[in-house]
């Protein structure tokens, strides 16, 4: 299909060598810098030709979903360019005799493509790929691909092998894509020496496709389609849609347009009315006072919006009400009872930017000071409280099943969170409305676990309305950059519990360290709204580390510890947060436990993708409303973590220099 176990002939070697020679020596420097054409995927999801991959990569954050067919497979895929050098693909491949027939075998897998070298004037782009690194190994393999562009032709040459065939020889593949003068139309041709040894041994009378293929490819906006031939007797087709969360037009919260900022300063200070006026503009200020040409206030940040945007609106408000001699604005920050850094801005810079239109966020940044060891004044003010009604449209599907082509679940979560209860407690309650799913088939496809962790997920979807969570929480800043949190109650859909976290997150550091421990009690799906407990409980906990990678704007995470099935292992994750509040993450978990599928195979590695898109800036929609999409296995017991409702790392995101710098352009909005 994609990986190769045929020994190439001398003629094939000469042809492939000619392709790469033309690509590397004849391409002038200005052609490399020309506008990038619209590359499209090959049959298995990543960018490529027809049946072979190329070394091309999407823009970071690009998400592509699609389906394709070529004898004897029907593929469904979800591809994510999590970072510029790394592409991840979740794929479900169904071996079938026809598009209308039930699949004879399902082969889910996760594929990785890693860019080794960028293309230059005299060097091709080079990428390394690992097929089915996690999942069923029917289509497992490795390859290395080289791609070079000459004018409107993109050339690819590579070598690879298919592991499952048992043949350890590498084959050579190659091809080209010609971008025609017609907008969005290209022609792909390629040569793939795959012998289909595994398919010929498993499928009676299987007719191996010809090694060459040709297709027409058309892209229109986010859509891409392809129709072609393998040899002269087999048809192949592909349809995909792509998008980037970076272009998502909505945010977590919609702010009203602030009042005009006047060029002249007030003749006298208006501090006495400042707080009331701020509340009318939805700015939570307290502890306001003027001293030595400085006006100081504490702002309770909304954790759902960028901190610079909130600081800018508060500073604008303070400047508009301060006396004529005030020159500095100091804002101390708090979130959910935690104390963050202090920000000091020059009033003149703000006035130049807002009233005279001569300043910029960059000029404000140059003169702004952050003090991480400053403690905000404690207050029992109502302004220090945070109330939030939130909605989550939760969609989960799985391509990682060996017994089902596609499992899905859709539900709506509605809840309310409050901070500052009794001066120090955070509370929350949420309900889940189960809208649609096909998880009932799990009862017939899989044997029930004696001590289920999440394998009985179908039991939790049978009631239409259930209690998602109901908890109390307390957070405290132990010292600058060191935070603690404790929670108790119904913590998530399947578990109640008690426990806490500790987090070390210095303001200027890219490294974050944390630890958590929980006593988790299993909720009973057969009780009203799942409020009863079934008596099972387990002690679970992890130590964690996160590092914000410079340049790529992604966070690398690693946690290790004891999971809910008492298995020991670790989770590796990559997360990207966009300026509009969208979040994209990928993770893989490996433990010493293992779930057994219907074929008797034990798996102890699980992976998944998550995407969260904000909807809160829509009219009539509550702030902090999100559309969540997750691609992850259903009904697994090993490698499962508790999902606390107020993660400490998410609560402290606005307290970091990385967050401030990334979102600083919002300071004047």
Find all residues with CB under 8 Å of 450, minimum gap 6, and list them: none
**Residue bearing the bigger pLDDT, 342 or 620:** 342
Count of Cβ atoms closer than 10 Å to residue 183 Cβ: 10
Structure tokens that stand for 612 in this block: 């969260």
Residue 384 has pLDDT above 50, yes or no: no
Q: What is the mean pLDDT of residues 654-660?
A: 94
Burial class (CB in 10 A: 0-12, 13-18, 19+), 472: middle
pLDDT-based confidence at 259, cuts 50/70/90? Answer: confident
Q: Angle, nearest 10°, between helix axes 307-321 and 271-280?
A: 140
pLDDT of residue 31: 41
Strand pairing report for 328-335 and 294-300: parallel
pLDDT of residue 165: 55
Q: What is the mean pLDDT of residues 569-590?
A: 95
Please tell me the distance from the alpha carbon of residue 444 to that of residue 237, in angstroms, as a whole number: 33
Burial class (CB in 10 A: 0-12, 13-18, 19+), 657: middle
Distances (CA, A) of 367 to 235, 497, 668: 64, 47, 15
For residue range 114-155, list pLDDT tens digits in order.
Answer: 999 999 999 999 999 999 998 888 889 999 999 999 999 999
Please tell me the distance from the alpha carbon of residue 455 to that of residue 446, in angstroms, as a whole number: 9
**DSSP codes joined into one string, 552-571:** TTEEEEEEEEE-TTS-EEEE
pLDDT of residue 295: 92
Count of Cβ atoms closer than 10 Å to residue 580 Cβ: 17
Q: Omega before 72 cis (within 30°)? A: yes
pLDDT of residue 8: 45
Residue 4 has pLDDT above 50, yes or no: no
Query: What is residue 245's DSSP assignment?
Result: G
pLDDT of residue 387: 65
Q: What is the mean pLDDT of residues 426-449?
A: 90
Asked if 160 and 170 count as a contact pair (C-beta separation under 8 A), the reply is yes
Please tell me the distance from the alpha carbon of residue 276 to that of residue 289, in angstroms, as a whole number: 14
Q: Where in the chain is the domain with CATH 2.40.160.40?
A: 10-243
CB burial of 500-517 (b: ≥16 within 10 Å; e: otherwise) equals bbbbbbbbebeebbbebb
**Residue bearing the bigger pLDDT, 651 or 552:** 651
Please tell me the distance from the alpha carbon of residue 215 to that of residue 156, in angstroms, as a whole number: 16
Residue 204 has pLDDT above 90, yes or no: no
Nearest to 513 by CA among 564, 559, 569, 575: 559
CATH of domain 10-243: 2.40.160.40
pTM, 2 dp: 0.89
pLDDT of residue 375: 63
Asked if 79 and 46 count as a contact pair (C-beta separation under 8 A), the reply is yes
Find all residues with CB under 8 Å of 119, minimum gap 6, and list them: 32, 55, 125, 147, 148, 149
Residue 436 has pLDDT above 50, yes or no: yes
Asked if 392 and 626 count as a contact pair (C-beta separation under 8 A), the reply is yes
Q: What is the mean pLDDT of residues 349-365?
A: 84
Least confident piece of the model among 238-242, 291-295, 556-560: 291-295
For residue range 585-603, list pLDDT tens digits in order.
Answer: 999 999 998 877 766 677 8
pLDDT-based confidence at 166, cuts 50/70/90? Answer: low
């Amino acid at each position: 299909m994609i990986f190769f176990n045929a020994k190439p002939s001398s003629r094939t070697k000469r042809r492939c060598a000619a392709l790469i020679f033309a690509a590397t020596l004849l391409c002038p420097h200005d052609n490399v810098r020309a506008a990038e054409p619209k590359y499209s995927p090959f049959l298995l999801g990543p960018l490529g030709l027809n049946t072979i991959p190329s070394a091309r990569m999407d823009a970071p954050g690009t998400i592509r979903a699609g389906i394709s067919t070529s004898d004897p497979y029907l593929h469904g895929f979800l591809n994510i360019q999590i970072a510029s050098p790394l592409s991840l693909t979740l794929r479900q491949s169904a071996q079938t005799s026809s598009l209308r027939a039930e699949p004879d075998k399902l082969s889910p897998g996760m594929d990785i493509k890693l860019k080794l070298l960028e293309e230059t004037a005299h060097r091709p782009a080079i990428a390394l790929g690992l097929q089915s690194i996690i999942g069923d190994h029917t289509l497992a393999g490795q390859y290395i691909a080289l791609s070079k562009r000459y004018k409107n032709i993109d050339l690819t040459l590579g070598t690879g092998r298919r592991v499952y065939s048992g043949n350890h020889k590498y084959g050579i593949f190659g091809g080209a894509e010609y971008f025609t003068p017609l907008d969005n139309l290209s022609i792909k041709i390629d040569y793939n020496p795959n012998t289909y040894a595994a398919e010929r041994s498993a499928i009676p009378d299987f007719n191996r496709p010809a090694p060459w293929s040709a297709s027409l490819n058309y892209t229109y906006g986010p859509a891409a389609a392809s129709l072609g031939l393998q040899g002269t007797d087999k048809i192949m087709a592909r349809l995909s849609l792509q998008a980037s969360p970076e272009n998502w037009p909505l945010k977590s919260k919609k702010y009203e347009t602030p009042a005009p900022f006047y060029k002249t300063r007030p003749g006298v200070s208006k501090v006495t009315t400042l707080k009331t006026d701020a509340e009318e503009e939805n700015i939570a200020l307290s502890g306001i006072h003027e001293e030595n040409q400085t006006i100081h206030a504490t702002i309770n940040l909304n954790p759902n919006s960028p901190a610079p945007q909130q600081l800018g609106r508060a500073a604008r408000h303070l400047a508009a009400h301060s006396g004529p001699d005030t020159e500095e604005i100091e804002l101390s920050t708090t979130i959910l009872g935690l104390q963050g850094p202090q920000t000091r801005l020059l009033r003149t810079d703000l006035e130049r930017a807002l009233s005279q239109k001569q300043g910029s966020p960059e000029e404000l940044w140059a003169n702004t000071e952050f003090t991480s060891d400053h403690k905000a004044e404690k207050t029992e003010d109502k302004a220090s409280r945070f109330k939030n009604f939130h909605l989550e449209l939760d969609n989960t599907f799985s391509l990682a099943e060996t017994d089902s082509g596609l499992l899905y679940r859709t539900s709506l979560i509605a809840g309310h969170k409050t901070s500052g209860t009794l001066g120090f407690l955070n509370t929350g309650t949420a309900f889940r409305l189960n809208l649609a799913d096909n998880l009932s088939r799990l009862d017939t496809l899989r044997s029930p676990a004696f001590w289920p962790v999440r394998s009985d997920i179908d039991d939790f979807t049978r009631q239409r309305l259930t209690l998602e969570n109901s908890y109390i929480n307390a957070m405290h800043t132990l010292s600058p950059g060191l935070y603690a949190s404790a929670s108790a109650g119904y913590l998530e859909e399947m578990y109640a519990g008690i426990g806490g976290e500790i987090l070390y997150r210095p303001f200027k550091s890219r490294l974050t360290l944390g630890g958590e421990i929980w006593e988790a009690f299993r909720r009973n799906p057969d009780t009203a709204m799942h409020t009863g407990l079934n008596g099972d409980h387990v002690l679970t906990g992890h130590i964690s580390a996160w590092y914000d990678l410079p340049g790529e704007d992604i966070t690398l995470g690693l946690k290790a510890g004891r999971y809910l099935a008492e298995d020991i292992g670790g989770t590796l994750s990559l997360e990207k947060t966009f300026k509009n509040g969208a979040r994209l993450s990928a993770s893989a978990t490996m433990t010493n436990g293992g779930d057994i599928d219907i074929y008797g195979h034990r798996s102890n590695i699980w992976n998944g993708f998550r995407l969260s898109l904000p909807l809160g800036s829509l009219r009539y929609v509550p702030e902090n409303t999100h559309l969540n999409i997750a691609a992850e296995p259903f009904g697994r017991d090993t490698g499962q973590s508790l999902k606390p409702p107020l993660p400490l790392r998410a609560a402290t995101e606005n307290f970091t220099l990385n967050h401030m710098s990334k979102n600083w352009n919002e300071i004047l909005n």
